[in-house]
Amino acid sequence: MGNTDGFQPVSGFDLPRFAGVPTFMRLPLMGLSDPRLAQVDVGFLGLPWDAGTTNRPGPRHGPRQVRDLSTMIRAQHGVSGVRPFDLVNCADLGDVPPNPADLQDSMSRITAAVSQVRQARVLPVAVGGDHLCSLPVLRAVATDGPVGLVHFDSHTDLFHSYFGGSLYTHGTPFRRAIEEGLLDPARMVQIGIRGTAYDSEDREFAADQGVRIITIEEFFDRGVADVMAEARRIVGQGPTYVTYDIDFVDPAFAPGTGTPEVGGPTSFQALQVVRELRGVNIVGADLVEVSPPFDNAGGTAFLAASILFEMLCVIAPRLAAAKAD
């Protein structure tokens, strides 16, 4: 597999970063019916939808702002020297249109779009949107049986229901995903959990199911390398999904989110944890809960774009190697 010139991001030397219609990392934009889709290896897909949000809305505006700030991403990783766009063909696959008035319909649309992406043998990287978006993505990803999960977040999102029985909110997606057989609890790890709690219902469920929770206290005590080594052991070599809630990061570094929890990691650690996913068999990923109305000057969206590039630099070499075989 080689790369196609058409899949290189526009360079800031050719078109200044403030110019041009912004796509994810300045990649070519193509719809799901575009014939070039067949050549794509990794596709970024926007999920501008936040109907699962129970407090402060805004993530529906996330994909647009992440695209805007992602124009500041360049082509080469600063530490590893990886040049992902030379290794695999990447594209911006646009946004899945939600139905603001119908939650179930919106979820169906996401599942359908991601299914189409995967049928084209494109690895999906979704950009939310709130965390409920992960559920319909997983429905399209876990088609051959439950997958493993590396989950960065300050919340477990494992609650049963909200507001007198509502099963689908941004606090419940992974409970649903386990119940639906999309996730293998024994191959799940949640990292960064903190903040005040309603009660222990979510943690008891996790304990019952065998989901491993690494609180922020444990995270800081052990350090990134040790924690992530355990995470890699937990998911092993089976197919694994990575979900990254931007509220994993401390709100000083990522203020633009609806349900912040103080006392979190720095932006350096925010990147490190992703870098430590090297070797994991990632079959899909998402980054969610960027909320532009709370994101002064776009810093949270830029951090999100930096995390997405870090993800890509973990995914691309493995994908390129696999295809080379």
Task: Please report, as residue ranges, which positions from 275 to 304 form the binding site for its own copies (by CB under 8 A).
Answer: 293-294, 296-297, 299, 302-303
Following CA atoms 84, 90, 94, 95 in sequence, which dihedral angle do they give, to the nearest 10 degrees? -60
* 131 annotated to bind ligand: yes
Following CA atoms 262, 267, 270, 274 in sequence, which dihedral angle do they give, to the nearest 10 degrees? 170
Site string for its own copies, 258-277 (x = CB under 8 A): -xxxxxx-xxx-xx------
| 190 strand-pairing partners | 151, 213
Tokens of 27: 């990649």
| Sign, Cα dihedral of 100, 293, 24, 20 | positive
* 247 annotated to bind ligand: yes
Shortest CB 31 distance to its own copies, Å: 11
Q: How far apart are CA 300 and CA 291, in angstroms?
A: 8
Nearer to its own copies, 238 or 299 (CB): 299
DSSP 147-194: EEEEEE-SS----S-BTTTB--STTSHHHHHHHTT-EEEEEEEEEEE-
Shortest CB 117 distance to its own copies, Å: 17
- Tell me if 238 contacts its own copies by CB under 8 A: no
- Restricting to residues 130-159, which ones interact with its own copies according to CB under 8 A? none
Q: How far apart are CA 98 and CA 42, in angstroms?
A: 22
216, 277, 288, 308: which one contacts its own copies (CB under 8 A)?
A: 216
Q: Identity (one letter) of the amino acid at 230?
A: E
- Tell me if 78 contacts its own copies by CB under 8 A: yes
- Tell me if 222 contacts its own copies by CB under 8 A: no
Q: How many positions of this chain bind its own copies (CB under 8 A)?
A: 95
- Restricting to residues 85-104, which ones interact with its own copies according to CB under 8 A? 92, 94-103
* 153 annotated to bind ligand: yes
* 202 annotated to bind ligand: no
- Restricting to residues 2-61, which ones interact with its own copies according to CB under 8 A? 11-23, 29, 46, 48, 50-58, 60-61
Residues at the annotated binding site for Mn(2+)? 131, 153, 155, 157, 245, 247
